[in-house]
Amino acid sequence: MNPLQLSMGMLGFGFIITYIPEAAISAYLAATALHIMLSQLTCIFGIMIRFHSGPISFFYNIINYCIGLPKANSTSILLFLTAVVALRINKCIRISYNQYPIEFPMEIFLIIGFAAFANKINVDTENSKMLIDMIPYSFLFPVMPDVSNLTEVLLEAFSLALVSSSLLIFLGRKIASFHNYDVNSNQDLIAIGLCNVVSSFFRSYVFTGAVVRTIIQDKAGGRQQVCEIEFDL
């Protein structure tokens, strides 16, 4: 899928976004947000479920979460509610310096504080060990991507390339409409294609536009690439 995205950008296929109505973009992003919210329930309740796939998988997954609620981790739920209240209060606080508004970085304080708190009281959830086992202990050396099963995943890779490219372009166009500037869809496709090509040698996940991270940074007042470094920290 990486060469496909790169080729789409180099061949100028970004012009297709011009013919997609704003309502379709909003509906696509809304559906994406619902699936992201559903996936976050694992961290909120501290439980793991068997995710379904298919046209009505969203409702099956909600049912699975409801079935797994008796095993929910009360500490995880309490931390989630605390974060929601703290972020809401932070939105009501207005700080300015020389008549310029300043956003208090409550998100960073919550992440650092909750990480220290969880380490102190040894919070264990059903998915903690699985997540820890997935974290590599050192930087991975570059290797050639495994193409032995290319014919088996080609169709899925093509679909994934179209979905991830659409998400990136739609998200960029939506944020651009908030701040009245134009985006170059071909440039975005080339950028994400190159990133995915290079990252494939390091066995990383395929990535695209991050809806949650982008919205949080936009609401927090981030306007430059340097805010991405702060978010990663």
What count of other Cβ atoms lies within 10 Å of the Cβ of residue 46? 23
Whole-angstrom distance, CA of residue 16 vs CA of residue 94: 41
Helix 22-45 / helix 211-219 crossing angle, nearest 10 deg: 100
pLDDT for the residue 39: 81
Structure tokens given for 225: 């690439």
**Blockwise average pLDDT, block size 10, the chain, 233 residues:** 72 73 77 81 82 79 86 84 86 72 75 74 54 63 77 76 78 80 81 81 75 71 64 55
Cα–Cα distances in angstroms (integers) from residue 12 to residues 1, 15, 24, 193, in the given order: 17, 7, 21, 13
Q: Comparing C-alpha atoms, which of 79, 55, 81, 77 is closest to residue 68?
A: 77
| CB-count burial class (<10 Å; 0-12, 13-18, 19+) for 13 | middle
Contact present, 206 and 214 (Cβ < 8 Å) = no
At 21 the pLDDT is 77
Q: Cα separation of 40 and 45, whole Å? A: 9
Calculate the CA dihedral of residues 143, 149, 154, 155 and round it to 10 degrees. -140
Q: What is the pLDDT of residue 226?
A: 64
Answer whether 218's CB lies under 8 Å from 41's CB: no
Domain boundaries, the chain: 2-73+125-232
Burial 80-94 (b: 16+ CB within 10 A, else e): beebeeeeeebeeee
Tokens of 41: 């329930």
pLDDT at 37: 82
- Taking the C-alpha atoms of residue 151 and residue 32, their distance in angstroms, rounded to an integer, is 28
The span from the CA of 224 to the CA of 227, in Å, is 6
pLDDT of residue 155: 77
pLDDT confidence of residue 106:
79
- pTM across the whole model: 0.58
Give pLDDT, residue 130. 56
* Residue 138 pLDDT: 64
DSSP class of residue 15?
G
Which tokens is 28 given?
């696509």
Q: Which H helix or E strand runs over 96?
A: strand 95-97
Confidence (pLDDT) at 133:
63
Coil vs helix vs strand at 102: strand
Query: What is the model's pLDDT at position 62?
Result: 87
